[in-house]
Amino acid sequence: MEKLYEGKAKIVYKTDDPDVLVCEYKDSLTAFDGTKKDSMEEKGELNAKISSAIFSYLTKQGIPNHFIEFVPPRTQKVKKVEIIPVEVVIRNVMAGSISKRLGIPEGTALSEPLIEFYLKNDDLHDPIICENHVTGLGFATRQQLDVIKDLAFKVNDAMKKFFLDVGLRLIDFKLEFGTHKGQVILADEFSPDTCRLWDVNTNEKMDKDRFRRDMGGVMEAYLEVARRIHVQD
């Protein structure tokens, strides 16, 4: 297959069908705009399985998305989209960059979920932008942005429940959207690389923060998430 793009966490290939791509999940782990790097055996397989299970669940919840099928051990067939270059972050609990920026301790619960937009541009360190930037700079129309916001909050409601059922608290996550045949749909991935998950009983971190913060036990945490959602023995 012809390689279309190689990113930090995935390789995207073309297929015979111009509307279909194949995404291969890599073992590499990066943080801080790719300046911190490592590779962990099995990470790609675990994230491919976790993200596939989550997108299947979101399809059942009526969220339009790019996922077609999981192709073991570490690839997915997806609908090709025109990516909207905006990272959409939803937060339920203060953590990470927002805690630092606003000086509010990690773990502080928000009274309602919060949505943020970041420009998808590593060279500029993904700067935070607001809704007017998204529409005014032409990244999305007002109508498309309304769809994105509606879908992002629906994903939050669905995923909070999904994870709570297996003893995990969904702290925050990042989504990407794209257009396919004129429709805005959810794309990219949902995995411990792109969200924060804390054990409901112990508050133990079960996501990429273990890598970002040199806490150790990175793969053990990803494996435990995969086990809890029943995609791994």
Question: What minimum distance in Å lies between the beta carbon of 165 and ligand ADP?
Answer: 27
Cis peptide before 113 (omega within 30 of 0): no
Q: Say if CB 110 and CB 171 are below 8 A apart.
A: no
Question: What minimum distance in Å lies between the beta carbon of 183 and ligand UDP?
Answer: 24
* Residue 173 binding: pick among ligand ADP, ligand UDP, none (C-beta 5-8 Å cut-off by kind): ligand UDP
Closest to ligand UDP by CB, 97 vs 232, is: 97
Give, for 49, the enclosing helix (H) or strand (E).
helix 43-60
Helix pair angle (43-60, 142-164), 10° resolution: 110
- Report the residue from 24, 45, 172, 188 that binds ligand ADP according to the rule CB under 6 A: 188
Task: Please report whether residue 89 would count as binding ligand UDP according to CB under 6 A.
Answer: yes
Helix pair angle (218-228, 43-60), 10° resolution: 30
By CB under 6 A, what part of segment 80-139 binds ligand ADP?
80-81, 83
Q: What are phi and psi of 222, to 5 degrees?
A: -65, -40
Q: Say if CB 179 and CB 145 are below 8 A apart.
A: no
Question: What minimum distance in Å lies between the beta carbon of 194 and ligand UDP?
Answer: 3
Site string for ligand UDP, 6-45 (x = CB under 6 A): ----------------------------------------
Closest of 109, 116, 150, 149 to residue 130, by C-alpha:
116
Residues in contact with ligand ADP by the rule CB under 6 A: 5, 7-10, 12, 21, 66, 78-81, 83, 176, 178, 187-188
Residues in contact with ligand UDP by the rule CB under 6 A: 87, 89, 95-98, 126, 172-174, 194-196, 208
